[in-house]
A and B are shown apart, each in its own frame.
Chain A
Amino acid sequence: MNFFSAIDTSATGLTAERLRMDVISNNIANVNTTRTEAGGPFRRQLCIFQARKPHGNWPHTERKNYSEPGKGVRVTAIMEDMAPFKLIYDPNHPDCDKDGYVRMPNINVVHEMVDMITATRAYEANVTCINSAKDIINSALGIGRR
């Protein structure tokens, strides 16, 4: 393991959180979308995070000694939330069904805002990690300085 591996780990966190922010922004932008290409209203999307193992995901490395910390996080998939759509009664809407109900996306804006704050906080924490790693390397260089 390189001595920059801690920075790589934090970088994976930054990438994952930024991707999550993109997904959240997309969800909020589409909160009122009733038509999509697949037909039907927009379904909420969410990111699936998975921890990276220190020796990779291949099965033959399962038995290796796990005294090493993992290598950060990976977004394995962006999946759709299978919660039911919200039904709003609006008989004048062009997309309403025979009973006058319009199916709206299953997105709760408040929920998305909370997720966004969590993602931002995690992003800032990862940035602090990288700054600390730089401080550590600089103080190691100070060992030889006169």
Chain B
Amino acid sequence: MFCQLTETSTFNLLYKGLDVAAKRHQVISNNISNVNTPKFKRQIVTFEDQMAKVFDGKVDLVGKRTEDRHIPIEEISYLDVKPTTITDRIHVMRNDKNNIDIDVEMSDLAKNTMQYQIQATRLAAMFEGVNDVITRGGRV
């Protein structure tokens, strides 16, 4: 019963967003430490595009399931969308085969930190809102 109090879709989305931002920070830190390592390829975390599609219900191809044993194709709830770390091998490389651009990483770092702070602040405000209702909702 109490879980329903906090687990609205916005809350779940914020919670997932925090997980993603924390993971992305680790990946960016790793990229920045390895800016001078030969043959190191940049890694990024993808999440927002997939989540936007699932959350809006605009998933491209949904497999029809008539049995439990049928393998689900793209039919996932927004709670199951996970961040994925992919290695970016495409972009321009330096002579030592390292493709990390320090400026891109620094700006990603700044954006990610602010994103985390936004989500944490909103989450705190949601908790405060529920608590406000609990303490003052019963009074006249």
Give the interface of A toward B (CB within 8 A).
1, 3, 5-7, 9-10, 12-13, 16-17, 20, 49-51, 66-73, 118-119, 121-122, 125-126, 128-129, 132-133, 135-136, 139-140, 142-146
The yes or no answer to B85 lying at the interface (CB within 8 A) is yes
Q: Is B79 an interface residue (CB 8 A)?
A: no
Determine whether the beta carbon of A5 is less than 8 Å from that of B128.
Answer: no
Pairs A-B, 7 closest by C-beta atoms: A13-B33, A139-B120, A49-B37, A72-B33, A139-B117, A132-B113, A69-B27
Report the interface size for chain B: residues with CB under 8 A from the other chain: 36
Say how far A16's CB is from chain B's closest CB, in angstroms. 7
A-B contacts, 26 listed (Cβ < 8 Å): A6-B26, A7-B29, A13-B29, A49-B37, A49-B38, A51-B30, A51-B34, A51-B40, A67-B84, A67-B85, A69-B85, A70-B34, A71-B30, A72-B34, A73-B33, A73-B37, A125-B102, A126-B32, A129-B29, A133-B25, A135-B116, A136-B21, A136-B25, A140-B18, A143-B127, A145-B124
- Per-position 1/0 for B3-32, Cβ under 8 A of A: 000000000000000100111011111101
- Is there contact, CB below 8 Å, between B29 and A10? yes
Bound Cα distance A69, B32 (Å): 12
Asked whether, in the complex, the Cβ of B25 is within 8 Å of the Cβ of A6, the reply is yes
- A140–B26 CA distance with the chains assembled, in angstroms: 16
Contact of A136 among B22, B33, B37 (CB under 8 A): B22
Interface residues of chain B, those whose CB is within 8 Å of chain A, are 18, 21-23, 25-30, 32-38, 40, 43, 84-85, 102, 105-106, 109-110, 112-113, 116-117, 120-121, 123-124, 127-128
Q: In the assembled complex, which residues on chain B have CB atoms less than 8 Å from the CB atom of A145?
A: 124
Q: Is the CB of B30 within 8 A of A70?
A: yes
Q: Chain B contacts of A7 at CB under 8 A? A: 29
Chain B's closest residue to A130 (CB) is: B29
